[in-house]
Amino acid sequence: MATGEVLSAADVQKRVVSLLRERLPETWNLTEAVASGQGSLGPDLSIQLAAPDGQVTRLLVEAKQLVERRDVATLAHQVRLRAADVGEVPVVAARYLSPSVRQALTEEGLSYADATGNLRVLVDSPVLFIADRGEDRDPWRKGRPRGTLKGEPAARVARALVDYARDWSVRELIAVSGASTGATYRVLEYLEREDLVTKKEKRYRVTDWERLLRAWSADASFQTTTRVMAFIEPRGVDAFLTKVAKQSAFPTAVTGSIAAKEWATYAPAKAAYVYVSSIQEASEQWGLRPNAAAPNVILLEPKTVGDVPFQNASKAEGGYPIAAPAQVAADLLNGPGREPVEGEFLIEWMKANEERWRSD
């Protein structure tokens, strides 16, 4: 299918039928695929499936050109009303469904399909489950991308929204985050589409800080936003942290497992991950030796997120600076080995102790 084409609703419906025909078990039959003919009162497409034992189910397809995350709750209510009879299964279809929209539809218990091949159809009776993966970007979209949380402006806005539990005017968010006016508006527009913020009387509020944190972490891992170099401190991690605790002439913030233990200890850390403004200056001052084979110190020099990793840093009991919980959790989710599990453990602590880390 050519990506330059503009798909009509009829094209989307044909694609859904084709996807199902290609992926149905051989013992099942797609015996009907017709437009409902009921206008706005009925589904756009009704597909009848027959199981090997003769049981029949009907897929009621609601075809859209575009579905935003913020539309999902309303759309779910709408399609469920139409699938009122036993054996009817609502399916949301579109030219393209983004990862966050697919996640929201799954959480709502809805089946879905898009023209790129993203597909999830779940039928309770007769039992049927079909799933497949298509594109994670809309191949038909032209012009400026619809937005991500990549880059320094998005990092500044995301961190401010997560770190502070308050309603925001745009002016206040600009002042606290340090992002430009244009960038702040663009990020807020994207977050509104993703149902991560709501707007009421010119003020914005985060709907779900955990989902925002995860979205930002997925779009801006430290591996892509920093220059990373591995070192060895011959005397061990504790000796290294003693050096870090001494006054440094450059910004520093410990992240990863060592920082996380200040709030939620999971397991002993094997290596220290540390944000620094200059890897060269830090490694020279601390007397570190490059060692990629068996490092116990990993230095991270921000290259696309500016000073964001140092924002709202605090002091650990050992006297060294540690990054804010949101930054630490995001880094752990992107870390190697057991670190993503540690990130989940820290997020559970953050959910139970929100008043201890989110400022007013």
Specify the pLDDT at position 210: 97
Instruction: Tell me how far CA of residue 111 lies from CA of 20, 117, 217, in angstroms.
Output: 12, 13, 27
* Region at 163 (left for phi over 0; alpha for psi -120 to 50; beta for the rest): alpha
SS3 195: coil
Confidence (pTM): 0.79
SS3 359: strand
- What single DSSP character describes residue 168? B
Specify the pLDDT at position 143: 55
Specify the pLDDT at position 1: 47
Query: Measuring CA to CA, which residue among 332, 333, 303 is closest to residue 150?
Result: 303
Specify the pLDDT at position 9: 81
CATH class of 9-132: alpha beta
Tokens (6 digits) for 253: 């913030």
Asked if CATH classification 1.10.132.20 holds for the domain at 152-219, the reply, yes or no, is: no
Specify the pLDDT at position 80: 86
Specify the pLDDT at position 40: 57
**Domain ranges for the chain:** 9-132, 152-219, 222-357
User: How does 222-257 read in b/e, with b if 16+ C-beta sit within 10 Å?
Assistant: beebbeebbbbbeeebeebbebbbeebeebbbbbbb
- Residues linked to residue 359 through DSSP beta bridges, in sequence order: 164
- Residues linked to residue 230 through DSSP beta bridges, in sequence order: 298
How remote is the C-alpha of 267 from its chain's centroid?
26
CATH class of 222-357: alpha beta
Query: How does pLDDT run along the chain (360 residues), one tens digit per residue?
Result: 445 566 788 888 999 999 999 999 999 999 766 655 555 567 888 999 999 999 999 999 998 888 999 999 999 988 888 877 767 899 999 999 999 999 999 999 999 999 999 999 999 989 999 999 999 888 877 655 567 899 999 999 999 999 999 999 999 999 999 999 999 999 999 999 999 999 999 999 999 999 999 999 999 999 999 999 999 999 999 999 999 999 778 999 999 999 999 999 898 899 999 999 999 999 999 999 999 999 999 999 999 999 999 999 999 999 999 999 999 999 999 999 999 999 999 999 999 999 999 998
Tokens (6 digits) for 285: 């001052």
Instruction: Tell me how far CA of residue 155 lies from CA of 114, 186, 216, 313, in angstroms.
Output: 30, 13, 7, 15
SS3 271: coil
Residues 6+ apart with CB under 8 A from 302: 225, 226, 275, 277, 308, 309
Between helices 152-163 and 181-193, what is the axis angle to 10°?
A: 70
Report the sign of the C-alpha dihedral through residues 175, 143, 112, 88, in that order: positive
